[in-house]
Chains A and B, each alone.
Chain A
Amino acid sequence: MNKIFNFFLSFVLTAFFATSTFAATKVVWWMESDATTDPVVQEFFVDAFNAEHDDIELEVVFKEDINDTIRPALLSGSGPDIFDTPGASYIKIYQDAGLVKSLQEYADQYGWQDKLLEWAYNSGVFSGELYSIPKNYETMIYFYNKTLFEENGWSLPNNLEEVEALAAKIKAKGMNPYAYGSTGWQPTHEHLVGNYFNTYAGPDNVYKALIGEKKWTDPEFVESIELLRKHMVDDGYWSGGLETYYSLGWDDFNGEFVNRESAMLMIGTWGFNVTATNFAESSDDWDWAALPILHPQAGDKPNYQLATGGTMSVNAASKNPEAAAKVIDWILSDRARVLNVTGQLGYGAWLMPLHYEDSDFDPNIDPRQKRFLTEFAEATGTGNYGYTTWTFYPNDPGVHIWKDMEVVWAGDITPLEFMEESQRLWDKARADDALVPVGKR
């Protein structure tokens, strides 16, 4: 009897230990579904992770309507271990409600503050602790027709005088300095406003205004708007004039750039693909550059405005936060793998803000693209970054900044009146607690 009982006991105990040793911890991640991105993520992140790990099994669920489904899931105490949100303003809501887990201990343990670019890390810090990590970023730059510049002996401008001198030379040759247009997407104007804020008033000032230490009616902002007005209306920098700018659409202005009707194209990094494709069939060569600083108060080196995409966070009710943190760390640690994934997606998704170096890159990558990724990481890593209006402005002032810019261009209100209205809307948003969180600078 004793012997049988002992045998039975040891069998049970062995079985128990065996299963708990060999049972993998499951980590579930809800991601926003997208037909092109999903298979790439599945193969290069999920399957690769699971192949390397026996103790953790990662499962990604691609959700069509994650915004609507995540909230009830979080509230009911169930839901995934890791989940995506469209941006910082959403995380703020969830964090206020106590639905997100603080990642501070894992950040300290794994050294995420060093792996991520500083601004990216800061963007996810609320009340002193890390709650979310950005998945993607974009910024504003400009492209130029390299062959055209070489033929005419033009050099890239570094300050306002040089910008205006170059524009005059370009116009003398019968071309437009910049190509751009707003047909079909009126919010395009916010790109230009953001550019002038960050290259004339400067990111430090913009930051102070965002957190309320400065007023938007201060002279540097008003002057930025006045400069933009002058360049658009009086000097006709974009596509030959205000009305033409209003009438041109995506294909129009890209075509204009390729056809040598314009010398430069001021656009966001989403323009890389189309520019490369268009110029492939042309005999001209292209390159990109950071937007020149237009006023010394904006710093002595060019900065890159930030536009972050989605973020990832851990559910406060997750039963396996350590495993979840391990998954996140695995992604953050291998830059080459991230570059591989984002490269396949045209650098439009999963472009994580890591410290990319030369050695991380696939040798087949377009050198201009690579130069962008490394220079961006380097510059923003040392604090040379700015703020796009569409990421950091609350709704009401965010719509006002592009919609009413037209009124400034039309000459119906002065730049000062425009900024006064912007300040008024900001004050209202501040009073309603509707602000978007801004990471510490």
Chain B
Amino acid sequence: MATARFRQRSSYINHSILFFMALTIILPLLVLIFNSVKPVEEFGVNPLGFPSEIRFMNYYDAWVNGNYTQIFLNSMTLVVGTLIINLTVSGLAAFSLAALNPRGIQTVVVGLYLLVGISIPAQLYILPLFLMWKSLYLLDTRLGLIIIYSALNAPFATFLIRSYMLQLPTELFEAAKLDGASTMQLFTRVALPLSWPVFLTTALIVSLNVWNEFLFAVTFIITDDYKPISSILFAFQSRFANDYGLVSAASILMAAPIAILFMFFQRRFIAGLTSGATKG
């Protein structure tokens, strides 16, 4: 009987602590949401509370005045472009590492490659890369940034897809080979269709990284018309304007697509993001 009461009380304490910590996250987010529908005049009087009148026009203003269609398109272009190049390149590599010669020297290459991938700080190469891009006329272009993002996400994507493909049954490959399939067909007809879950997960993670990416976006794209959403939000809070209602609405616009994707695919998101850590 004593143990049962102990467990009950501790469950109560458990929940209190957990809920309190949850509040530390929910409350700031609520402030953001409230602000996004708050009219400008109210900010001085009622900075943190629920708005007295709801002004959805903030969203309209952010969208129209901030030329958000263009900006969203920019970010979408970056995401789609990166996915196309990155998934292709990493998929091919992962297939090679997993199915073509799993125990060869390539695995050593992989080990080195991934090690390098996580340990080289961007600051080592960002400046020479900037100068290279300048002379190649890739500076201030979305294509230039897409190439960079594809390379940045390549080690992680390759690793993730490879660890999935390793589990594909080799008999399927053998059977296809017996039917006279070329290596490329092994990839496109056998590996690819079976690996769609990991490709989906990888796509989600890479999309998240590209959408949220800040350092390279802010450094490599200068013309306003090409800027993705992270650069624009940064510009929003700087020199010439900081209408908090507008900025909050714009932030929500930036966070919303990811949040929605997250709700639908949260298991994959979490699994993808943490698998790097857990499988080491």
Whether A and B touch directly in their complex, counting CB atoms under 8 A apart, is answered as: yes
Residues of A whose CB lies within 8 Å of any CB of B are: 64-65, 68, 183-185, 249-252, 255
Instruction: For chain B, residues 125 to 170, give those with C-beta under 8 angstroms from any C-beta of chain A.
Output: 134, 137, 139-140
Minimal beta-carbon separation of A64 from chain B (angstroms): 7
User: Is B223 in contact with chain A by the CB < 8 A criterion?
Assistant: yes
Flag if B223 contacts A184 (CB, 8 Å): no
- Select one of A64, A68, A184, A255 contacting B237, CB under 8 A: A184
Q: Interface segment, B15-23, B92-100, B238-246? A: B238-246
Contact A250 B223 (CB under 8 A): no
B140 touches A184 (CB 8 A): no
Contact with A along B215-244 (1 / 0, CB 8 A): 000000001000000000000011111110
- Cβ–Cβ contact A251 & B242, under 8 A: yes
Q: Which residue of A lies closest to B134 (CB)?
A: A68
CB pair B239–A65 under 8 Å, yes or no, is no
Residue pair A68, B137 in contact (C-beta under 8 Å) = yes
* Interface positions of B from 180 to 206, Cβ below 8 Å from A: none
Contact check, B137 vs A249: say whether CB atoms are below 8 A apart.
no
Return chain B residues, CB-CB under 8 Å to A183: 237-238, 242
Question: What chain A residues lie within 8 Å of B223 (beta carbons)?
Answer: 64-65
Q: Could you tell me if B240 and A250 are in contact, using CB atoms closer than 8 angstroms? A: yes
A321 to B139, CA, bound (A): 33
**A31 CB, min distance to chain B CBs, angstroms:** 15
Query: A68 — which chain B residues lie within 8 A by C-beta?
Result: 134, 137, 139
Let me know if B137 and A250 touch, CB within 8 A.
no
**What secondary structure prevails in chain B residues at the interface with A?**
loop
- Complex CA gap A249/B140 in Å reads 28
* Contact residues of B between 229 and 280, Cβ < 8 Å to A: 237-243
Please determine whether A250 and B239 come into contact, CB atoms closer than 8 angstroms. yes
User: Chain B contacts of A184 at CB under 8 A?
Assistant: 237-239, 242
Residues of A within 8 A of B242 (CB): 183-184, 249-252
- In the bound complex, CA of A173 to CA of B256 (Å): 47
The interface residues of chain A, by DSSP majority, are classed as loop
CA distance A185 to B241 in the complex (A): 11
* Chain A minimum-CB-distance residue to B40: A251
Min CB gap B174→A, angstroms: 55
- Tell me the minimal C-beta distance from B42 to chain A in angstroms: 13
A249 to B242 CA separation, bound complex (whole angstroms): 7
Chain B proximity of A196: nearest CB distance (Å) = 22
Q: How far is the CB of B134 from chain A (nearest CB, A)?
A: 8
- Other A-B contacts than A185-B239, A255-B44, 17 sampled, CB-CB below 8 A, are A64-B223, A68-B134, A68-B137, A183-B237, A183-B238, A183-B242, A184-B238, A184-B239, A185-B238, A249-B237, A249-B238, A249-B242, A250-B239, A250-B240, A250-B242, A251-B241, A251-B242
Residues of B whose CB lies within 8 Å of any CB of A are: 44, 134, 137, 139-140, 223, 237-243
With A64-B223, A65-B140, A68-B137 already in contact, the answer to whether A251 and B239 are too (CB < 8 A) is no
Give Cα A183 to B134, complex, Å.
30
A249 vs B238: C-alpha distance when bound (angstroms): 7
25 residue pairs A–B, Cβ–Cβ below 8 Å: A64-B223, A65-B140, A65-B223, A68-B134, A68-B137, A68-B139, A183-B237, A183-B238, A183-B242, A184-B237, A184-B238, A184-B239, A184-B242, A185-B238, A185-B239, A249-B237, A249-B238, A249-B242, A250-B239, A250-B240, A250-B241, A250-B242, A251-B241, A251-B242, A252-B242
Most chain B beta-carbon neighbours within 10 Å: one of A64, A251, A252: A251
Q: How far is the CA of A68 from the CA of B242 in the complex (A)?
A: 32
User: Which A residues touch B139, using CB under 8 A?
Assistant: 68
CB contacts (< 8 Å) of B134 on chain A: these are 68
Q: Which residues of the other chain, B, contact A185 by a CB distance below 8 angstroms?
A: 238-239
Query: Which of chain A's residues has its CB closest to B236's CB?
Result: A184
A255 to B242, CA, bound (A): 11
Closest to B141 in A: A65
A251/B243 in contact, CB under 8 A: yes
- In whole angstroms, what is the CA distance A185 to B237 when docked? 9
A64 CB contacts on chain B under 8 angstroms? 223
Closest to B244 in A: A251
With a cutoff of 8 Å between Cβ atoms, the chain B residues found around residue A249 in the complex are: 237-238, 242
Report Cα–Cα, A68/B238, bound state, in Å: 26
Residues of B with C-beta under 8 A to A255: 44
Closest B residue by C-beta to A259 = B44
Shortest CB-to-CB span from A30 to chain B, Å, is 17
Chain B residues near A251 (CB, 8 Å)? 241-243
**A252: chain B residues within 8 A (beta carbon):** 242
- Cα A184 to Cα B247 in complex, Å, equals 13
CA distance A183 to B241 in the complex (A): 11
The winner among B44, B137, B238, B243 for most chain A CB atoms within 10 A is: B238
In Å, the complex CA distance between A167 and B80 comes to 57
Ranked nearest first, the 5 interchain pairs of A and B with the lowest CB-CB distance are A184-B238, A249-B242, A185-B239, A251-B242, A184-B237
Q: How far is the CA of A1 from the CA of B241 in the complex (A)?
A: 82
With both beta carbons as reference points, the residue of chain B lying nearest to A186 in the complex is identified as B238
In whole angstroms, how far apart are the Cα atoms of A104 and B61 in the complex?
Answer: 51
* Residues from chain A with Cβ under 8 Å of B238 in the complex: 183-185, 249
Give the residues in chain B near A250, CB-CB below 8 Å.
Answer: 239-242
The answer for the CA separation of A185 and B239 in the assembled complex, in Å, is 5
CA of A68 to CA of B241 in the docked complex: distance in angstroms? 29
Chain A residues with Cβ below 8 Å from B243 are 251
Contacts of B239 in A (CB 8 A): 184-185, 250
Q: Considering the complex, give the chain A residue whose CB is closest to the CB of B241.
A: A250
B246 to chain A, nearest CB (A): 10
Alpha-carbon separation in the docked complex, A241 to B138 (Å): 45
Q: How far is the CA of A255 from the CA of B238 in the complex (A)?
A: 16
Q: Kindly provide the distance from the CB of A224 to the nearest chain B CB, expressed in whole angstroms.
A: 25
Docked complex Cα distance between A185 and B240 (Å)? 9
Query: Which chain A positions have C-beta within 8 A of B44?
Result: 255
A57 to chain B minimum Cβ distance, whole angstroms, is 30
Closest-CB distance, B46 to chain A (whole angstroms): 16
Closest to B139 in A: A68
Chain B, residue nearest A64 (CB): B223
CA distance A101 to B137 in the complex (A): 27
Residues of the A chain whose Cβ atoms lie less than 8 Å from the Cβ of B237: 183-184, 249
**Chain B nearest CB: distance from A267 CB in Å?**
12
Q: How far is the CB of B239 from chain A (nearest CB, A)?
A: 4
- Cα–Cα, bound, A184→B140 (Å): 22
Chain A residue at minimal CB-CB distance from B224:
A35
A252 to B237, CA, bound (A): 12
**Docked pose: A68 CA to B140 CA in angstroms:** 11
- Residue in chain B with minimal CB distance to A274: B240
